[in-house]
Structure 1
């Protein structure tokens, strides 16, 4: 299927996504199909959106999720086909901050807005024209291929579970499984065939480990982690002598806090130093941050949550702070 097919009305292409197929035997087999596979609008509209009593609502919009920014953005781009799509179709190399600012609002709106189905379609349709060729072997990729689209979503599922368990409070296995189950409804709002989606939390863990073993040092991820190897760039307003002194503790703190969140496979492909001493320091830092949760959780909702989440809590008339705390 070419990208021209993506302009066909959803109902006409429903047979490509709405009808469930057996899952591809491997990620490689599925992703090499390199074709968009949306589901029908009617099927998308049947999906029950997440709400104020879901764990995804409780934790995804928490401002502490920013502590996992490099994990979610980095793991995505360690997969060659996804990284090539970013390289070919985004401004990551010229406007890294701007790209992040344009990516977050639509995804947050799919979870928290009053029109999650509409925002889910928008997120999906942003990817209709993202296709191209992989450098390593000349094979094709398409962002709306189910294997590739689900991998991008999986990194957000991992983010919610990992960051909550690491920086907010320890989650039980049942809570992690619940977050995964809720993530399936979240994914369904995007309207892309779900053949690549694991069906249980245990299957998701197996899937995640398998994807980590596929990581490669893509141009996108090597560029995006350069500050962790070379140090933070000096702000223009800070004199060089001052920055030479101030940057030492700042870079040490940043490297520990950021590299500590990354899977070892990502550290390896990005050539990021990590050792037992750094791991112990990271563990102490995260334990201290978790210990502050009872205090942080008393902050006003608009300080505790992102703007999209805070607006949603206000709209639904629910105070999230006592929920699942």
Structure 2
């Protein structure tokens, strides 16, 4: 239930509801997760405390659900956000330079949130349609509401869209590093995807090459150029042309997209919210 101290949740009139749970956002690849782990404090926290290295994809799935529920949870969104925050209370330790880190440090926690906002903005403009400056400002203001659902200090959160753009530029150019955790997270780009537990190795050898090619295209193509370089991810002009053609083809399906079943177009958390609000898409 919502308490008097809870911020008003996002709702069906928000652009964030329209797009964050859109399955086309999956085509961005692990951009948000990789960028998160390039912040030294966050990457070290994952290295020290997470099962990421043993159960990479399972960990990503477990993390995505509560984030989506914070966006689409309606009256329960703030309670879900506080649960997400509370998962991080014990994530603290020491960086290699001897300084201390804590996952609930406002600067660290906001960086994780900022990567989800960037993920959505990049996904919309790459695979759906261009956004006007007014729409970008609107989505940014919605992201401020979303962040406040976590009950974490918002002192690190930029005041407006212009300030966020400056913040994002500074983080990419001056702050993030090729942390070991981020390098591990994109290791399959050169080594190939690991075989699922129940798939015979002989079968996987036959079916994995096209899957590896798609995973590589989406992962490396979805990364900012400087971060590709920092992580030493191979990317050629031909790769760039291939990625742009793919993105253009997806955008070209935009008119037909609303004709597809909702189960194809939206993730489960979004679909449940639409039903709850009686706002079919």
* 8 Å Cα contact 2:28/2:218 also seen in 1: no
Partner of 1:111: 71
How many residues matched?
275
Q: Which runs of 5+ in 1 are unaligned?
A: 1-40, 321-325
Q: Which runs of 5+ in 2 are unaligned?
A: none
Q: Distance in 1 between matches of 2:164 and 2:54?
A: 34
| Aligned pair partner of 2:185 in 224, 234, 240 | 224
Q: TM-score, normalised by structure 2?
A: 0.92
**C-alpha distance 121-225 of structure 1, shift in aligned 2 (>3 A):** same
Q: Distance in 2 between matches of 1:85 and 1:317?
A: 40
Larger Rg: 1
By how many angstroms is 1:189 displaced?
0.8
Q: Distance in 1 between matches of 2:261 and 2:142?
A: 26
| Aligned pair partner of 2:129 in 169, 174, 178 | 169
Partner of 2:56: 96
Partner of 2:113: 153
SS at match of 1:161: helix
By how many angstroms is 1:247 displaced?
4.3
Q: Distance in 1 between matches of 2:269 and 2:54?
A: 27
**C-alpha distance 106-234 of structure 1, shift in aligned 2 (>3 A):** closer
Q: Distance in 1 between matches of 2:78 and 2:210?
A: 45
By how many angstroms is 1:290 displaced?
0.7
* 8 Å Cα contact 1:68/1:159 also seen in 2: yes
* 8 Å Cα contact 1:216/1:269 also seen in 2: yes
* 8 Å Cα contact 1:80/1:216 also seen in 2: yes
Q: Over aligned residues, Cα RMSD in angstroms?
A: 1.7
SS at match of 1:82: helix
Partner of 1:237: 200
Work out whether 1:57 is the aligned partner of 2:17: yes
* 8 Å Cα contact 1:215/1:265 also seen in 2: no
Partner of 1:205: 165
Runs of 4+ in 1 over 6 A off after TM superposition: none
Partner of 1:6: none
By how many angstroms is 1:249 displaced?
4.2
SS at match of 2:101: strand
Work out whether 1:133 is the aligned partner of 2:94: yes
* 8 Å Cα contact 1:130/1:143 also seen in 2: yes
Question: Residues 25-40 of structure 1 correspond to what in structure 2 (within 5 A)?
Answer: none
Partner of 1:194: 154
Q: Distance in 1 between matches of 2:214 and 2:266?
A: 24
**C-alpha distance 75-164 of structure 1, shift in aligned 2 (>3 A):** same
| Aligned pair partner of 1:68 in 2, 13, 28 | 28
Q: Distance in 1 between matches of 2:19 and 2:187?
A: 29
| Aligned pair partner of 1:285 in 246, 254, 264 | 246
SS at match of 2:255: helix
* 8 Å Cα contact 1:86/1:92 also seen in 2: yes
Work out whether 1:312 is the aligned partner of 2:251: no
**C-alpha distance 303-256 of structure 1, shift in aligned 2 (>3 A):** closer
